[in-house]
Amino acid sequence: MKRQLRRHLKAMTLVEIMVVIAIIGLLAVVMVPTVKYQYRNRSVKEGERQLNAFIGAAQARAQQLGRPVGVWVERFNKDIPVPSLPVGANYSVQIYQAEVPRPYTGDLQDSRVTITLSPQHRVINFPLASALRNPNNPLIRPDDRFKIQFDHRGPFHEAHRLNTPGPPVYILLLNTLVTGGQIPKAAFSSSGVPYTIHRRPVRSFVSSLRLPQGAVIDLSVSGIAPVGTQFNHKDNDATREPVIVMFHPDGSVGDVYFHGFPARPLGWIHLLVGRQDMVVPTNPLLETETEAANLMYSENRWVSINHRTGTVTSERLADINSAMRLLPNPGNPTVAETEYLIGLSRELVRTGSGLEDD
């Protein structure tokens, strides 16, 4: 009986085993790129979702605190000496909450300031007892900008601490005086007026956001308005300041900081969530057989903020490949052509006609 059973048992031959292994290897070769492609898409989509939620949390905290709160987009290589054009300074993987510190009205009750006119500036004079008279004060550091309101009413005016040796010098920025409202006449007299100072945002102690592995905010093609790339770090920039977007307690957008200075946005704020290995600041339209820039990959995402309402919209990048092929010299587009294609890639955000698949 056992002999008959052994006669019917057959093992696989060496050739059959090799055929099976070859089939498994072939399936792996076919499937690995597909799985890798899906993983790449998933990390970008998850990064987009997390960034949306983080912005919403900042707006909610601004409402809770009753003062501006925002998002602080930290550049990856902010402290490395400036070489020709550092890629790391043009993307971010770490985002923090930013808060405006509590208003400063002086160290003593009824502290007052006066303004004196010099040939070049309107100089702000703080009381002798004020901490701001100390050159090493941590409230407003050399070269910092801040906002000051006189007599606790009217508009906030932009001001600046000059980066000069000796006693600190604070001046009003003349170009901001046209924004409305007059400086009280008493500020130019010896009696002075009370004041309120809003300082520039600082990083909050609230838990930060780190994007999923491989996903980044590509700052080289991010910016304000339809074609803006103001967040791009240029090779002649001496500093690598973060990008900070502040929100008022009602959720609307306040100041946007980039290159160290605040600005009021005149258009939507666009942040591109893409791949770290596709950040190409020297050529945002690069596309070859071996590498491509984030702008050329339509599965990446724009996270865009309405500059008036603070509403956040997320969309895929519009495909710009067909438009690029129509350029006279697609391999070397002009600045105007590059701006046109950047604006075209944001088309789905402006029209709301994107077809989200998740």
pLDDT in tens, 12-53: 777 777 888 888 877 776 665 555 555 557 899 999 999 999
Give the integer Cα–Cα distance in Å for 118 and 124.
11
- 197-229 pLDDT, tens per residue? 999 899 999 999 999 999 999 999 999 988 989
| Cβ(293)–Cβ(337) below 8 Å | no
Lowest mean pLDDT among 60-74, 80-94, 279-293: 80-94
| Cβ(204)–Cβ(97) below 8 Å | yes
pLDDT value at 320 more than 50: yes
pLDDT attached to residue 1: 52
Q: Give Cα separations from 279 to 86, 153, 215, 219, 273 (angstroms).
A: 11, 46, 11, 9, 11
* pTM of the complete model: 0.79
pLDDT attached to residue 221: 94
182 phi and psi angles, rounded to 5 deg: -110, 155
pLDDT attached to residue 202: 92
Amino acid 346 reads R
Give the integer Cα–Cα distance in Å for 312 and 120.
42
Q: How remote is the C-alpha of 78 from its chain's centroid? A: 13
Q: β-strand 145-150 against 157-161: which pairing, if any?
A: antiparallel
| Cβ(100)–Cβ(106) below 8 Å | no
Burial of 181 (0-12, 13-18, 19+ CB in 10 A): middle
pLDDT attached to residue 94: 96
Amino acid 217 reads I
pLDDT value at 177 more than 50: no
Give the chain's count of helices (H) and strands (E): 5, 18
Tokens 């893409």 sit at which residue? Answer: 274
Place 72 in a pLDDT band, splitting at 50, 70 and 90: very high
Give the integer Cα–Cα distance in Å for 182 and 262.
22
Beta bridge partners of 125: 114
Burial of 310 (0-12, 13-18, 19+ CB in 10 A): buried
Q: Which of 226, 212, 217 is nearest to 244 (CA)?
A: 217
Place 82 in a pLDDT band, splitting at 50, 70 and 90: very low
Give the integer Cα–Cα distance in Å for 276 and 200.
30
